[in-house]
C-alpha cells in the first residue's frame, strides 16, 4: 500500500521486456513442453509414464516462470522467490489433482493447491481472504468432498481389494483435452501480456482510500491515538463527535485539547515518537496531532468497508444463494419413507384428524 505510481520509463522498459519475452517462440515452446508433459502424465491402462510426464510438465511450467523472472530482471524488477516457489507448488499440485487416479488423493492434492494459493494471497497482502480461503475451502468444502468420496464408493469385494475402477484409471481423450486446454492458456497469456502493458493502475492513491475509510471510523482513530500513547502526555481524549468534526483525512491529523501543559512539554522533549506526531507545537489550548504512519487500516477493515459500503447487493445475493443451496440440498437428500397401511392410520390418529381424513389417507394413497 502507498507505493509510488510507475514512472513512464519503467513502464516502457517493462513493455520492451514483455515484447522480448513474447516475440520469440520460446514462451510457446515451453508451453508445448508443458502440454506434452501433461498428456504423458494422464492416467492410462498398463504401464503409464506418469512420473516422466509430471517431470516434463513441471519443467515446462517452471521454465515459463523462470522466463517471467528473467524478464523481470530486465525491467529492473527484482523477483520474489516466495512467489515462484508457491506458484510452482500450486501449479504442480493442480497437475496432480487432475492426474491422480484415486479421487481421495486428488482431493488431498487440491488442499495443497489451496494452501499454496492462499500463500500467494498473503504475498498480495490480502490476509483476510488468505485465511478465509484456508478455513472455508480447505476446512469445509474439501471435507464435504472427502465425505462424498467415502459415501459414494462401493465396498471392495474380497478378491479386488485395492483395485481401481476402470473409469478412474484411464483418462478420456487426453491428447485432445490437453491441446484444448493449452491452446486456451497460450491465447490467454498472450492476450493478457498485451493487455497488462496498456493497463494503468487506478488514479486514486491508496492513501486517500485509507483516509476515507479511517474518517468514518472515529472509535478506531481514538484507539489508534491511545495505542500510540498520545493521551499519556497530557492530551485530552476526544469524544466521537469531536473526532467526526475535527479529523482531516487529507493530513491524517486532528486537533486535540491540551489538559496538562507540563506533561505535554515533557513528552515533546523526551519521547521522539510522540514528538513526531506533533507537526507544530503552538502555545494555544489545542494542538494538531497526526496519526502515526504505520497506523493505517488493516486488510480486514478494508474488505469489510468495501463489502458493506460499496457492494451490499453482492452480500445479499450471496445470502440468497446460500439459502437456495441449503433448501436444494435438503430436498435432494430427503429420503422417501414407505409407510404401511397400519402406520398411516396410526400417524393420522396421532395428528388428531377426523375419520374421513383417515379413510381418505388410507384409500387415496
Partner 1 sequence: MIDQMLSVFPESLPHLALAADTTVAPDIFAGPISLYHYLFVAGSLFALGVIGFLTRRNMIVMFLCTEMMFQAAGIALIAFSKFHLNHTGEVFVIFVLTIAAAEAALALALVVLLFRRRETLNAEDWALLRG
State which residue, 80 or 270, has the beta carbon closest to partner 1: 80
Q: What are the residues facing 289 on neighbouring strands? A: 254
Q: Contact between 275 and partner 1 (CB under 8 A)? A: no
Q: Contact between 29 and partner 1 (CB under 8 A)? A: no
Pair 43, 168: CB distance under 8 Å: yes
Select from 111-119, 270-278, 338-346, 354-362 the region that touches partner 1 (CB under 8 A). Answer: 111-119
Which parts of the chain fold into alpha helices (H)?
8-22, 26-41, 50-74, 81-99, 103-123, 127-133, 142-151, 166-169, 174-198, 206-215, 218-227, 240-246, 261-270, 272-277, 299-305, 312-333, 341-350, 355-364
State which residue, 18 or 348, has the beta carbon closest to partner 1: 18
Q: Contact between 25 and partner 1 (CB under 8 A)? A: no
**Cβ 31 to partner 1, closest distance in Å?**
9
Q: Contact between 306 and partner 1 (CB under 8 A)? A: yes
Give the total of residues touching partner 1 (CB under 8 A).
113
**Cβ 198 to partner 1, closest distance in Å?**
12
Binding to partner 1 in span 175-204, by CB under 8 A: 176-178, 180-182, 184-185, 188-189, 192-193, 196, 199, 201-202, 204
**Cβ 363 to partner 1, closest distance in Å?**
31
- Rounded to whole angstroms, the Cα distance separating 50 from 28 reads 23
Q: Contact between 159 and partner 1 (CB under 8 A)? A: no
Three-state DSSP at 95 gives helix
Binding to partner 1 in span 68-87, by CB under 8 A: 68, 72, 75-83, 87
**Cβ 328 to partner 1, closest distance in Å?**
5
Q: Contact between 311 and partner 1 (CB under 8 A)? A: yes
Select from 127-135, 229-237, 252-260, 271-279 the region that touches partner 1 (CB under 8 A). Answer: 127-135
Q: Contact between 161 and partner 1 (CB under 8 A)? A: no
Q: Contact between 217 and partner 1 (CB under 8 A)? A: no
Q: Contact between 32 and partner 1 (CB under 8 A)? A: no
Look at the block and give the residue holding cell 467526526: 244
DSSP string for residues in 306-345: IIIII-HHHHHHHHHHHHHHHHHHHHHHPPP-PPPHHHHH
DSSP string for residues in 16-71: HHHHHHHSSTHHHHHHHHHHHHHHHHS--SSS--HHHHHHHHHHHHHHHHHHHHHH
Amino acid at each position: 500500500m502507498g507505493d509510488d505510481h510507475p514512472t513512464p520509463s519503467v513502464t516502457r522498459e517493462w513493455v520492451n521486456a514483455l515484447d522480448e519475452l513474447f516475440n520469440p517462440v520460446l514462451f510457446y515452446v515451453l508451453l508445448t513442453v508443458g502440454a506434452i508433459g501433461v498428456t504423458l502424465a494422464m492416467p492410462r491402462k498398463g504401464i503409464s509414464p506418469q512420473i516422466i510426464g509430471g517431470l516434463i510438465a513441471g519443467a515446462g511450467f517452471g521454465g515459463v516462470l523462470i522466463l517471467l523472472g528473467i524478464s523481470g530482471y530486465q525491467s529492473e524488477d527484482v523477483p520474489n522467490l516466495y512467489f515462484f516457489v508457491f506458484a510452482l507448488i500450486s501449479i504442480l499440485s493442480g497437475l496432480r489433482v487432475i492426474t491422480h487416479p484415486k479421487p481421495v488423493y486428488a482431493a488431498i492434492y487440491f488442499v495443497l493447491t489451496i494452501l499454496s494459493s492462499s500463500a500467494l494471497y498473503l504475498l498480495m497482502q490480502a490476509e483476510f481472504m488468505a485465511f478465509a480461503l484456508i478455513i472455508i475451502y480447505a476446512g469445509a468444502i474439501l471435507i464435504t468432498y472427502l465425505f462424498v468420496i467415502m459415501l459414494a464408493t462401493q465396498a471392495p469385494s474380497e478378491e479386488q481389494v485395492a483395485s481401481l475402477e476402470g473409469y478412474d484409471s484411464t483418462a478420456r481423450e487426453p491428447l485432445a483435452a490437453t491441446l484444448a486446454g493449452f491452446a486456451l492458456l497460450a491465447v490467454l497469456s498472450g492476450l493478457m501480456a498485451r493487455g497488462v502493458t496498456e493497463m494503468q493502475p487506478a488514479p486514486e492513491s491508496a492513501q486517500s482510500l485509507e483516509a476515507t475509510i479511517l474518517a468514518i471510523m472515529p472509535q478506531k482513530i481514538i484507539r489508534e491515538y491511545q495505542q500510540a500513547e498520545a493521551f499519556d502526555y497530557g492530551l485530552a481524549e476526544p469524544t466521537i463527535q469531536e473526532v467526526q468534526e475535527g479529523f482531516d483525512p487529507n493530513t491524517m491529523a486532528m486537533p486535540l485539547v491540551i489538559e496538562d501543559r507540563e506533561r505535554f512539554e515533557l513528552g515533546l522533549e523526551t519521547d521522539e515518537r510522540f514528538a513526531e506526531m506533533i507537526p507544530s507545537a503552538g502555545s494555544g489550548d489545542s494542538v494538531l496531532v497526526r496519526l502515526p504512519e504505520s497506523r493505517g487500516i488493516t486488510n480486514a477493515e478494508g474488505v469489510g468497508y468495501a463489502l458493506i459500503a460499496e457492494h451490499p447487493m453482492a452480500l445479499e445475493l450471496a445470502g440468497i444463494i446460500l439459502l437456495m443451496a441449503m433448501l436444494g440440498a435438503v430436498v435432494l437428500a430427503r429420503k422417501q419413507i414407505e409407510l404401511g397401511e397400519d402406520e398411516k392410520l396410526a400417524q393420522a390418529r396421532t395428528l388428531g384428524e377426523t375419520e374421513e381424513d383417515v379413510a381418505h389417507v388410507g384409500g387415496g394413497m
